[in-house]
């Protein structure tokens, strides 16, 4: 593959930093790497594959000469610079939620719908982290028989709120040990020794924006526009792996044995399902990896076409940075 | 009410200690209090309402002269001593799971099925903690229209594993701050900064014993023998409040507004449901109390007769000790 010129918009955040690490790890054919961030960080040096790279300020001219821009910034920044990126002739692979539901923008999980990158017109969106992890877990079941509905409850890590979230959980843990406490800023309430049943603002019928992503993005990724999802998103005091408790219904019944077989062979997924020997996915075992771990597969006792399962995956990697780099890899093919 | 002679079997554990505290708090008419425990603790003194009481060794003759014995011991101890308690003429209000599904034993949540105490023949069981909290949250809905099914995912506190569980989570948090770690004993894996999707051993079709309690005990408490429940029980690094994410279906549709009204007026429950103002139940706000807090009430997007909600309650109090003392109060009426 011919090396390409890569930009990272929002290079100084947790996801941007992880993208640089993953580009190097995966031997992505990088001709040049340009970290792009706010004026505050511009001029600072970062290390990439043993060489120094200088952070460039995000301006309309910052993208000239780039082939692919990986987006690790918030929605407002992504919206602000998308036109300039496209105008510069680069493809914008964006991790924000700004364009995910735009019908002109593919929303891609490379293990599920790689073909969708082909119809992009300059922007490709990377899905929500909890949605990616859940969809990798259920995709092989959806291919066996279409999923009609999902009921999900999440156990989401602090890393979903970026470096501020990680730092705050750590500070709260240290304060607990000292017998003190810290004022919550990244989260609305103390997260250590607590769980917080709100991620995102209210969006639809009492569901939060984060909760609606699993339905709206999941439909687009799985090509199942009728799939209904009731999701409850909950922040838990875990550093970087999200877990999701899922009950799903399929048009035709899939047995537990067949579900295990399908998931064991599903790309990007690993079956860890042996309750007798206390083997199932857990955040501490699944962090810093790109695989989605799936276990606790059993029949839904409330519906003959239902299955229950439990999945975990690293929020920063497969939930964000790795998936974005994988989309960029598809563009090179 | 005429004061009665009370025994506490398993008086030295977290729940036994909480029972003593709650008897005092609620001005339960105690003529005498007899803490009963293993030979190891026998002879030691405990304080009750400013007086010293001496721990008696659990033997068949330990229950003579008692009117009510509150059980805060494990199943094997409850099974071992139940015949002696009944023979002594006392009523055994047992918090273990040993007799809960016995058709001759009532299983009682006083706010839901107080009438069931009447048909006891010496033993009354106190339900599982997660089940009590969930049933208090959904009872008013079940009375409006029978619940046909529940899908639940729990976020269960360390206190469910007793003092050893509480101590282990604390030790893990302190070790984290020191940059060290401790060997898990109370839990199979490190709980701090992790979640563990197994509570109890495998019981039925891949579900754990803890998970099946919500269906089997829930049916008996709500008098809904056909209600089906798919439950996923997960331990989270929280000290003493359990949280449960619930999706339930009723025979007839209940609107969100009506559900809020019903729950706001339900005995033992408190509605805290204002997402816009970030008001919902959380473990840190709901510990050391006897109320079950309910919020995040919304329509289930996957079923027209479904409702989603989130509830929290203190595991040691309403989940165990308070409910047991409340059952004893019913016996006095």
Task: Enumerate the residues of chain A whose CB falls inside 8 A of the CB of residue B207.
Answer: 298, 301
Report the C-alpha gap between B204 and B213 in whole angstroms. Answer: 11
Q: Which residues pair with B299 in a beta bridge?
A: B307
Please give chain A's pLDDT, 333 residues, in tens: 789 999 999 999 999 999 999 999 999 999 999 999 999 999 999 999 999 999 999 999 999 999 999 999 999 999 999 999 999 999 999 999 999 999 999 999 999 999 999 999 999 999 999 999 999 999 999 999 999 999 999 999 999 999 999 999 999 999 999 999 999 999 999 999 999 999 999 999 999 999 999 999 999 999 999 999 999 999 999 999 999 999 999 999 999 999 999 999 999 999 999 999 999 999 999 999 999 999 999 999 999 999 999 999 999 999 999 999 999 999 998
Q: Which residues pair with A46 in a beta bridge?
A: A53
Q: Tokens for B327, please give them.
A: 């059952």
CA angle A62, A68, A72 (to 5 degrees): 75
Taking the model in full, what pTM does it have?
Answer: 0.96
Q: Tokens for A88, please give them.
A: 């510069």
Task: Enumerate the residues of chain A whose CB falls inside 8 A of the CB of residue B296.
Answer: 197-198, 206, 232
CB contact under 8 A, A197 and B247: no
CB contact under 8 A, B236 and A202: no
CB contact under 8 A, B153 and A245: yes
pLDDT for B333 equals 87
**Nearest CB neighbour to A308, from listed B192, B198, B232:** B232
CB contact under 8 A, A151 and B190: no
Report the C-alpha gap between B328 and B331 in whole angstroms. Answer: 5
Query: Can you list the domains of chain A with their CATH numbers?
Result: 4-127+320-332 (3.40.50.720), 131-315 (3.30.360.10)
Interface A:B, Cβ pairs < 8 A? 178
CB contact under 8 A, A197 and B280: yes
**pLDDT under 70 in chain B at which residues?**
none
Task: Enumerate the residues of chain A whose CB falls inside 8 A of the CB of residue B150.
Answer: 302
* Given the residues B40, B223, B231, B242, the one annotated as active site: B242
pLDDT for A333 equals 87
CA B319 from centroid of its chain's CA atoms:
2
CB contact under 8 A, B232 and A245: yes
The minimum CA-CA distance between A125 and chain B, rounded to whole Å, is: 25
pLDDT for B32 equals 97
Decide: residue A209, CB within 10 A, 0-12 exposed, 13-18 middle, 19+ buried: middle
Report the C-alpha gap between B72 and B82 in whole angstroms. Answer: 12
pLDDT for A300 equals 98
**Mutating which of B134, B153, B190, B237 best tests the A interface, going by the most A Cβ atoms within 10 A?**
B153
Whether B223 is a known active-site residue: answer no
pLDDT for B21 equals 96
pLDDT for A103 equals 98
Task: Enumerate the residues of chain B whose CB falls inside 8 A of the CB of residue A282.
Answer: 189, 194-197
pLDDT for B260 equals 98
């Amino acid at each position: 593959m011919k090396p390409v010129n890569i930009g990272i918009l929002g290079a100084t955040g947790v996801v941007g930093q992880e993208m640089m690490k993953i580009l190097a790890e995966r031997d992505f054919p990088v001709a040049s790497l340009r970290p792009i961030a706010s004026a505050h960080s511009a001029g600072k040096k970062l290390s990439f594959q043993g060489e120094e790279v200088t952070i460039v300020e995000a301006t309309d001219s910052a993208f000239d000469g780039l082939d692919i821009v990986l987006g690790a910034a918030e929605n407002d920044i992504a919206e602000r610079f998308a036109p300039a990126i496209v105008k510069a002739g680069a493809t914008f692979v964006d991790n924000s939620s700004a364009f995910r539901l735009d019908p002109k923008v593919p929303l891609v999980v490379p293990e599920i719908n790689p073909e969708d990158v082909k119809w992009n017109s300059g922007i490709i969106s990377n899905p929500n982290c909890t949605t990616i992890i859940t969809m990798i877990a259920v995709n092989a079941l959806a291919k066996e028989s279409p999923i009609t509905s999902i009921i999900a409850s999440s156990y989401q890590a602090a890393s979903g709120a970026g470096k501020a979230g990680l730092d705050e959980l750590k500070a709260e843990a240290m304060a607990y040990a000292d017998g003190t406490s810290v004022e919550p800023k990244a989260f609305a309430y103390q997260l250590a020794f607590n769980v917080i049943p709100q991620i995102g603002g209210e969006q639809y019928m009492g569901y939060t924006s984060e909760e609606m992503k699993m339905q709206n993005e999941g439909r687009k990724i799985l090509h199942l526009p009728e799939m209904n999802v009731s999701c409850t998103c909950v922040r838990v005091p875990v550093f970087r792996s999200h877990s999701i408790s899922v009950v799903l219904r399929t048009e035709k019944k899939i047995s537990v044995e067949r579900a295990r077989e399908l998931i064991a062979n599903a790309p990007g997924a690993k079956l860890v399902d042996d309750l007798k020997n206390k083997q199932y996915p857990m955040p501490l075992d699944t962090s810093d990896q790109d695989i989605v771990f799936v276990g606790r597969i059993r029949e839904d006792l409330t519906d003959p076409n239902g299955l229950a399962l439990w999945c975990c995956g690293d929020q920063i990697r497969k939930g964000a940075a790795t998936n974005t780099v994988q989309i960029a890899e598809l563009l090179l093919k």
